[in-house]
Structure 1
Amino acid sequence: MSWVVAAAVIANLVVIWVGRHRFAQRHSCDPKTWPLVGAQLETFRNFHRLHDWLLSFFSDHHRTVKLSLISTTLFFTVDPGNVEHILKGNFPNYPKGASARRAMYDFLGDGIFSSDGETWKKHRKVASLEFSNRKLRDFSTNAFREDALLLVQILDAVASSQKIVDLQDLLMRMTLNSICKVGFGIQIGSLSPALPDVPFGRSFDTVNEITATRLFNPLWELKKALNIGDEGVLKQEVEVLNSFTTNVIQKRRVELEGKDEGRADLLSRFMAYNEGQPGAFSDKELRDAILNFVIAGRDTSAITLSWFIYCMCNHPHVADRVFEETVEVLGLQEKTQNYSFEEVAERISYEALGKMHYLHAALTETLRLYPAVPRDGKLAAGDDILPDGTRVKRGDRVAYVPYSMGRMEFLWGADALTYNPDRWLQDGIFQPESPFKFSAFQAGPRVCLGKESAYLQMKMTAALLLYFFTFHIVPGHVVKYRVMLVMPMANGLRVRVSHR
């Protein structure tokens, strides 16, 4: 019976150990942890609502949350002082890090979003030069206008037939069309009237979602080695992405061979960088650049426009004010049937969009509450103390959380949860906030290079849509986010479209 006594003693010791551990945590504001596994089980249980789960731990007085997992310790912060420290003040100490690079490598390779050091600097340098190029801006403006018109024509038919449509799907198709033109100089036809299946877009979304789970799953590398579960799916879908990018790159090399056409698309500009010299981009680097452009230029803009229309459905007075501003700035009449889609689109110039302050505020307010990138993590390369006193050890991960920051009363006031574009305006003029408070576009050396381009496409599309149409969410349709590297709607955005 000695083994029975021993088992009982061990069981009692385990109960006491766990009990003392939980007792020591009784005043903690952080997620519940258990011996050995930390908060891993709680994270798995709440992963489907990750952003709101994290939000529940933040308060005006508890601005940094510690999440202890099996493989690492993560700190999530909503403190602007910490954000500035991470993204600017002590930038060298907070790279993406090797573990995040491994998790994202199959998807984004060594592109601008997942790389560090000299690789990141190389991609950043070329992208920075091109995004400041007026030729690219003019090329982008025309591409955005063309694709917004294609979308409007589809919605015109939908409104006439009273069909229900998934607007997020259409917006994803539109921005995929645009990024393929601006980024790679190709026509993908995702907004053709028949709305064809786009394997590249479908595979891109699947890989994006599985990659996000890797960041919280300590067993993903084992699953990858065994080629089981979602890792087996990811491998197959990555092959679709690689086939697409290889085909695009090979065709472009043939088109550019012996020619200097001065093409404006980003892929051609990257190919021209140091051509024939040391430092020129390899096909692998070009593949990584393409997929990083897609996640930046397709997903974020389409996701923001989807949440924007959702907000317009819930706040129709805001949609009416955008309509009125469009009428005033473009010199239009309120009777929309007096104009063709093309006539209105031609009036929406880069300069005209710059005068649409209320529309800019409405889109920015959408990003405050529904940021396309809801969280962004870094690795602590060395021990550090954040401005709020949080002690970070070498190897810990530190993330700022735009989703939660947009909902903090200490940052935005008692109406932080209220959708209110007027908070961004003073005497009718848009007033930007500190990027360390409104962090949807990052800040510091990694600040988003495509911010102006994103606003250009979003404002052009939104102005056209709200001038000609009104939108109503289908009764019973559940709108919630999907946990990925970005924050799309899990069930799409099913709406009825009416002519204004």
Structure 2
Amino acid sequence: MAPQLSSIAASSGLCLLSVLAIALLAVTIYILGVVASFAAFCIREFVVSAKDRPPLIGTMFRMLKNFDRLFDDHVEYALAHRTSRLVFPGHSEILTSDPQVIEHVLKTSFGKYIKGGFKTEAMKDLFGDGIFATDGEKWRHQRKLASHEFSTKVLRDFSSGVFRINAAKLAEKISSAAANRTTIDMQGLLMKATMDSIFKVGFGFELNTLFGLDESSIQFSEAFDEANSLVYHRYLDIFWQLKRLLNVGSEAKLKRSIQIIDNFVMHLIHQKREQLKNERDCKAREDILSRFILESKRDPETMNDHYLRDIVLNFLIAGKDTTANTLSWFFYMLCKNPLVQDKVAHEIIELLEWDKEDNNIENFAARLTEGAIEKMHYLHAAISETLRLYPAVPVDGKLADEDDVLPNGYRVIKGDGMNYMIYAMGRMTYLWGQDAEEFRPERWLVNGVFQLESPYKFVCFNAGPRICLGKEFAYRQMKIMAATLVHFFRFKLADESKEPTYKIMFTLHMDKGLHLYAHPRSA
């Protein structure tokens, strides 16, 4: 019996070794194929490249070398050339800070540039067929639906009410820390507050991550943030598809996070469908999911539960991370520029005619109506100045679907990536003047009134047919939250000597948070 067991064990061991050997051989062939393809493409691009192509400044390895400071590298690219090019395996990535080129890509020749197969495949596991990851008919369908919903007074009034409630909750949370003279991680609190707001507006349910009352909500929120980061890293990981196939490393983590997200969201969709069957109160129809479910009755095959999941998750990432990250940088800049912080506070008191001695947070937030915040031009300018230097989306791009010639004469080949470097653009003196790196809200004001810039120069909300539908929605949420917090507190950095750094994600996220002291402004 023992020899038989030995024989079986030996056979199993040999079988396992054979599988490992085959897997190792497959990985080796894959790597050699990628390297050979990349080498051949590089030779063609470096040696044979035509003079009418954008200046070649390196390969993907230049980007990988300084990946942790990627957006500062973009500043160096933009200073050297307004339009340049990096070589990636099988294609080139064109990078530009030229508003004329951006207008050409996003508007004039809109039909020649798409999201592209590589980007949509990289994003699909998290974003599915949502508006940020699709082209063509699916994009047009969602754009039309979203355009209608964002223009409705019902959604505008409902969302403003939600923003005021959560701004008051956040202020109460900070008030406790101020009373105890303890530091706060402002970015962490803002991420929770905006998640709660956008979840209520998007799904019609209370998530309440700000007070950490529900374990499944916290688990969902953490999984959502981790998936966001892991998906972005796919863009520079040439082995991500292999790792996904083998379910190892970052791809195994991503799969677990997306499973948590899907289970949570699909449960809410089913719950919302049941609620709408039995709910006669029109208040149950104010959130975005409810309105899309009602719309889905006209086309149930297209707008099934998975499609609804994709639509709302895309809305969630657009409204949560961008707003929280922008407000984090906003409060950082207020701490670095205390005179600006005081000017914002003064404008709020002056416009609302608020009694300085009245410390009722809920009453104050209720006064932040749409009409009131529209008059806050200096606050609007300070937020816009933050977005200029610290854009919520630091780089964005498309893919050339056909050959093209840019306004600067450079030739684009089908398959080229086309990236506009939004973070770098805010620091270019040839766009913003010699004080481009200074935080100066006044640059946006003429006789105290806010003045718009060209969306192709200030690309924070995209431009052309794909311009952000939630731009006014985002400003409204940011102004309500900022006005509430600045009115009640004066903020100071916990450590003046520390400069914040960003984490490489879809949005400009502060690495390790923003640690502040909050002092009651009345004091």
- TM-superposed CA distance for 1:72, in Å, is 2.6
Partner of 1:373: 393
- TM-superposed CA distance for 1:259, in Å, is 5.0
SS in 1 for 2:198: helix
Match status 1:488 vs 2:509 = yes
Instruction: For 1:378 and 1:359, locate their aligned partners in 2 and report how far apart those are by CA, in whole Å.
Output: 32
Residues 279, 83 of structure 1: CA spacing in aligned structure 2 closer, same or farther, 3 A cutoff?
Answer: farther
Mapping for residues 178-197 of structure 1, pairs under 5 Å: 178-192=197-211
Partner of 2:354: 332
Contact 1:169 / 1:492 at 8 angstroms: preserved in 2?
yes
Mapping for residues 174-253 of structure 1, pairs under 5 Å: 174-192=193-211, 198-253=218-273
Root-mean-square deviation (CA, aligned residues, Å) is 2.2
Percent identity, aligned pairs only, is 43
What amino acid is aligned across from residue 255 of structure 2 in structure 1?
A: K
Partner of 1:301: 323
Match status 1:341 vs 2:361 = yes
SS in 2 for 1:281: coil
Match status 1:53 vs 2:77 = no
Instruction: For 1:348 and 1:146, locate their aligned partners in 2 and report how far apart those are by CA, in whole Å.
Output: 11
Q: TM-score, normalised by structure 2?
A: 0.87
- TM-superposed CA distance for 1:217, in Å, is 2.3
- TM-superposed CA distance for 1:164, in Å, is 1.2
What amino acid is aligned across from residue 174 of structure 2 in structure 1?
A: L
Match status 1:90 vs 2:109 = yes
Mapping for residues 291-440 of structure 1, pairs under 5 Å: 291-333=313-355, 335=356, 337-440=357-460
Contact 1:78 / 1:402 at 8 angstroms: preserved in 2?
yes
- TM-superposed CA distance for 1:40, in Å, is 2.5
2:144 to 113, 125, 129: 125
What amino acid is aligned across from residue 392 of structure 2 in structure 1?
A: A
Instruction: For 1:485 and 1:189, locate their aligned partners in 2 and report how far apart those are by CA, in whole Å.
Output: 24
- After superposition, the C-alpha distances for 1:443-492 in whole angstroms (9 at most, x for unaligned) are 11101000111000100111111111011112154411111111110111
Partner of 2:189: 170
2:294 to 261, 269, 272: 272
Between Structure 1 and Structure 2, the one with more helix by share is 2
SS in 1 for 2:501: coil
- TM-superposed CA distance for 1:145, in Å, is 0.3
Match status 1:134 vs 2:156 = no
Q: TM-score, normalised by structure 1?
A: 0.91
Instruction: For 2:57 and 2:419, locate their aligned partners in 1 and report how far apart those are by CA, in whole Å.
Output: 19
Residues 244, 194 of structure 1: CA spacing in aligned structure 2 closer, same or farther, 3 A cutoff?
Answer: closer
Instruction: For 1:416 and 1:477, locate their aligned partners in 2 and report how far apart those are by CA, in whole Å.
Output: 22
Instruction: For 1:257 and 1:86, locate their aligned partners in 2 and report how far apart those are by CA, in whole Å.
Output: 45
- After superposition, the C-alpha distances for 1:207-263 in whole angstroms (9 at most, x for unaligned) are 111111112222211111111211111111111111111111110111112656441
Alignment coverage as a number of residue pairs: 473
Instruction: For 2:244 and 2:97, locate their aligned partners in 1 and report how far apart those are by CA, in whole Å.
Output: 33
Partner of 2:519: 498
SS in 2 for 1:175: helix
Mapping for residues 5-154 of structure 1, pairs under 5 Å: 33=58, 39-59=59-79, 62-154=81-173
SS in 2 for 1:48: helix
Q: Bigger shift: 195-204 or 359-368?
A: 195-204
- TM-superposed CA distance for 1:365, in Å, is 0.3
Instruction: For 2:54 and 2:437, locate their aligned partners in 1 and report how far apart those are by CA, in whole Å.
Output: 22
What amino acid is aligned across from residue 504 of structure 2 in structure 1?
A: V
What amino acid is aligned across from residue 92 of structure 1 in structure 2?
A: G
What amino acid is aligned across from residue 453 of structure 1 in structure 2?
A: F
What amino acid is aligned across from residue 77 of structure 1 in structure 2?
A: T
- TM-superposed CA distance for 1:181, in Å, is 0.7
Contact 1:271 / 1:280 at 8 angstroms: preserved in 2?
no
Instruction: For 1:274 and 1:119, locate their aligned partners in 2 and report how far apart those are by CA, in whole Å.
Output: 14
SS in 2 for 1:273: helix
Which runs of no fewer than 5 residues in structure 1 stay unpaired?
A: 1-13, 34-38
Instruction: For 2:298 and 2:100, locate their aligned partners in 1 and report how far apart those are by CA, in whole Å.
Output: 45
Instruction: For 1:195 and 1:240, locate their aligned partners in 2 and report how far apart those are by CA, in whole Å.
Output: 15
SS in 2 for 1:149: helix
Partner of 2:308: 286
- After superposition, the C-alpha distances for 1:64-86 in whole angstroms (9 at most, x for unaligned) are 12111124311111100011111
Instruction: For 1:49 and 1:355, locate their aligned partners in 2 and report how far apart those are by CA, in whole Å.
Output: 38
Partner of 2:478: 458
What amino acid is aligned across from residue 177 of structure 1 in structure 2?
A: D
Partner of 2:6: none
Instruction: For 1:312 and 1:195, locate their aligned partners in 2 and report how far apart those are by CA, in whole Å.
Output: 33
- TM-superposed CA distance for 1:279, in Å, is 5.9
Which runs of no fewer than 5 residues in structure 2 stay unpaired?
A: 1-38
Partner of 1:443: 463
Residues 195, 428 of structure 1: CA spacing in aligned structure 2 closer, same or farther, 3 A cutoff?
Answer: farther
Residues 173, 40 of structure 1: CA spacing in aligned structure 2 closer, same or farther, 3 A cutoff?
Answer: same
